[in-house]
């Protein structure tokens, strides 16, 4: 099992439930299914959004959501993140005032599961990011990374019906987050990186979800030069990846994969 900084805890009883049913032969079965609960996010006393989540790492989810929606800037001073499990709320407090009412008025729905949301201009920070051109990933590292992720104990292996995202360096997974929507999983990683001062310039980002425009934008905003998925692509996701110079690797299963952007970072060893 890889040595993770933080990762899934499939043994946490809060995250799965045992549910009785019948199989195709009418036999009684009992399976594990992920939990799903609301989490309401506040920024300095202002309600922002209610998200559906499995409920782990709410503080990182809150910070990552605000960062990826451009409501919180990387240089902002966060003075407190308070989570109340009883009323299912998390409050992020900053040293200075924030003004995001206009973003709330511009709220739009995005494609994908769990109805992820993007506030304001999707490209607000996208065009300002320059990804490191010198970053490299060898094919052997990529294949080893896929194997390490697939053999790590996870809620997906325990119960299925869940998305996972991983921040890695080369073949080594570092941060592994899961949730009912890939939006939440990537936000948890963004929040952890922000809280612990981790940069993305030498990192690889892996997701189980499709390589959509939103996944590309969030990866670029985190400054990560290489994005990998076991799933496929959307046309706009590819277009944005090429615009940003992001290496985009999809349909990565076993020893197979397809690169549609930034192939110069992939070293075929």
Burial class from Cβ neighbours inside 10 Å (0-12, 13-18, 19+) for residue 105 reads: exposed
* 166: CATH: 3.40.140.10
pTM given for the model: 0.90
Spatial CA neighbour of 228 closest among 201, 209, 245: 209
107 against 133, higher pLDDT: 133
Question: pLDDT digits over 187-222, tens only?
Answer: 999 999 999 999 999 999 999 999 999 999 999 999
- What pLDDT is recorded for position 109? 47
Number of domains in the chain: 1
The pLDDT tens digits for 218-250 are 999 999 999 999 999 999 999 999 999 999 999
Q: Is residue 6 part of a domain?
A: no
Residue 182's domain spans which residues?
137-267
- Rounded mean pLDDT, 46-54: 93
> Is 215 contained in some domain?
yes
Of 20-29, 51-60, 105-114, the poorest mean pLDDT is in: 105-114
Least confident segment among 93-97, 168-172, 261-265: 93-97
Does a structural domain hold residue 113? no
Q: How confident is the model at residue 103 (pLDDT cuts 50, 70, 90)?
A: low
| Residue 245: inside a domain | yes
Q: What is the pLDDT of residue 114?
A: 44
Model pLDDT, residue 127: 83
The pLDDT of residue 45 is: 85
| 131 within some domain | no
Average pLDDT score over residue span 158-172: 94
Is the pLDDT at 106 greater than 60? The verdict is no
pLDDT band at 84, cuts 50/70/90? very high
Give a yes or no: residue 129 inside a domain. Answer: no
Dump pLDDT digits (tens) for 9-39: 998 999 999 999 999 999 999 999 999 999 9
- Confidence band for 96, pLDDT divided at 50, 70 and 90: confident
Q: Any idea which of 57-61, 68-72, 76-80, 150-154 has the lowest mean pLDDT?
A: 68-72
First to last CA, the chain: 24
Kindly state whether residue 150 falls inside one of the protein's structural domains.
yes
- Is 58 part of a structural domain of the chain? no
């Amino acid at each position: 099992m890889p040595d993770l900084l933080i990762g899934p805890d499939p043994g946490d009883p809060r995250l799965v439930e045992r549910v009785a049913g019948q199989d195709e032969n009418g036999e009684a079965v009992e399976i594990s299914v992920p939990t799903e609960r609301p989490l309401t996010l506040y920024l300095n006393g202002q309600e922002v959004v209610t998200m559906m989540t499995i409920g782990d790492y709410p503080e990182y989810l809150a910070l990552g959501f605000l960062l990826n929606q451009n409501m919180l800037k990387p240089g902002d001073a966060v003075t407190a993140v308070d989570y109340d499990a009883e009323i299912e709320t998390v409050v992020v407090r900053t040293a200075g005032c924030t003004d995001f009412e206009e973003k709330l008025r511009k709220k739009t729905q995005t494609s994908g599961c769990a109805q992820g949301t993007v506030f304001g201009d999707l490209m607000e920070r996208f065009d300002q990011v320059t990804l490191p051109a010198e970053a490299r990933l060898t094919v052997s590292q990529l294949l080893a990374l896929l194997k390490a992720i697939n053999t790590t104990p996870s809620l997906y292996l325990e119960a299925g019906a869940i998305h996972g995202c991983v921040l890695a360096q080369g073949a080594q997974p570092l941060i592994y987050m899961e949730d009912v929507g890939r939006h939440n999983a990537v936000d948890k990683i963004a929040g952890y990186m922000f809280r612990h001062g981790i940069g993305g310039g030498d990192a690889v980002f892996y997701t189980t979800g499709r390589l959509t425009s939103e996944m590309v934008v969030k990866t670029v905003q985190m400054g990560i030069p290489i994005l990998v998925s076991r799933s496929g692509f959307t046309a706009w996701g590819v277009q944005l990846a090429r615009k940003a110079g992001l290496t985009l690797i999809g349909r990565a299963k076993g020893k197979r994969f397809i690169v549609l952007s930034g192939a110069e970072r992939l070293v075929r060893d």
